[in-house]
Amino acid sequence: MHTVVVGTSGVTASDVLAVARDGARIELSGEAVAALAAAREIVEALAAKPEPVYGVSTGFGALATRHISPELRAQLQRNIVRSHAAGLGPRVEREVVRALMFLRLKTVCSGHTGVRPEVAQTMADVLNAGITPVVHEYGSLGCSGDLAPLSHCALTLMGEGDAEGPDGVVRPAGELLAAHGIVPVELREKEGLALLNGTDGMLGMLIMALADLDTLYKSADVTAALSMEALLGTDQVLAPELHAIRPHPGQGAAAANMLAVLKGSGLTGHHQDDAPRVQDAYSVRCAPQVAGAGRDTMAHARLVAERELAAAVDNPVVLPDGRVESNGNFHGAPVAYVLDFLAIAAADLASIAERRTDRLLDKNRSHGLPPFLADDAGVDSGLMIAQYTQAALVSELKRLAVPASADSIPSSAMQEDHVSMGWSAARKLRTAVDNLARVLAVELYAASRAIELREGLTPAPASRAAIDAVRAAGVQGPGPDRFLAPDLAAADAFVRAGLLVTAVESVTGPLQ
């Protein structure tokens, strides 16, 4: 079992993926334990003073003006967790909750939160035991952290609320902790607040989306290349010298990928009736420009994620000189913006893929292919309704591209009067990523069938490898009409698992 060691200087995206998706174990470094203890000493010294310190000896949010006496502070910390665990709606996915908890642990271990080492160790123990708090869809405004989602996680550390065990069964959290020999934490000054104040949910979903989109953008280059072949398009537009004079890195990478897939093709440039086209349609010719812009958007989003992974997001924070200072670092705007940017890019990538699919099915624009790629058009409908499904997905992606971060709704009696809505941006991006995979699966299904209908013409070796692999995965080729949904589902699973990229790379080597 892979082990991730958490220190004081943050973690990597691969660490997050290992814990969230692969169940990696977590250890706290000696450096982290020492930093936790040192920061805790500062908090306890401030707690002993008569002057109020926000988060240590005061209420929270709009109630921050009340000074809390020492005998009520443990109750204060318990109460903030209980009252803030106010989520509603469907359960959030297990991988999202694990990322959320792990990233909060990352910040706790920075030594800037004032949380005791034993609380951090309990967080690691819960993750290592495979216990997943029940977190709900709604409750975060993406400011003051992902409050409700993180509160549900903190509630589990206290042995309250519900959680899912490693067997997938939801039980009372106290029972699960006891079954794994984990003692519930008794929160002290500042600890309840420190467990709630982070952008961890939206950041975790950003990191996972970037990992998925990396595969999908390569897949999109492959499906675009297959469609170009099937439409007898020209690959001259992919020449490196053309992209060098508009030096967007993503565009150059997308064009290079498509050119690698098409190397040795007997279809590109083989125009119907030997009548060359001056230019292919935009959806074919401009594929690298659209996919490239999305790649460059991903590069910016990855930079933001890396910065956030290195950050300690809490309020107040413990500084090395012993001060405990309030701040606004919990505001999710930096993460929210890029989550929305990625949803816009995903929608556009899906949109151009759908246009290529529609072109493959239209006998007036497909350059000799049968209507709807049907076996006996009229008797058979072919892939007519597969394109309907793809169009419905694209329309949904366009709605999901409307930015959440452009919205704000005041809360906490106008104390928190501007919020990021970053959690909402992350939730809709997850749906957008899923739908993008489905759209590309339909294009793959159509383009592979179209290439096989080009009798007498030989596709590129990489294209042949992709088609052979998708057929081996249970996606059938041309023929009379049949129950189509299973084929589309198999193509979706094939794309989503990265198998399309793997098949092509067996011929081309690594794609960019």
Active site residues: 54
Neighbours of 232 (CB within 10 A): 22
Give 449's contacts (C-beta < 8 A, 6+ positions apart): 373, 383, 477, 478
CA distances from 410 to 6, 264, 332, 414, 419 (A): 35, 59, 15, 6, 7
Nearest to 460 by CA among 273, 287, 192, 269: 269
Total count of residues recorded for the chain: 512
Place of tokens 């989109």: 213
**By three-state DSSP, how is residue 114 classified?**
coil
Q: What is the DSSP letter of 68?
A: P
Going by C-alpha positions, the residue among 159, 75, 96 that lies closest to residue 122 is 159
Hey, is 43 helix, strand or coil?
Answer: helix
Query: Tokens for 79?
Result: 């109460």
| C-alpha span between 350 and 494 (Å, rounded) | 17
Q: Residue 315 in contact with residue 199, Cβ under 8 Å? A: no
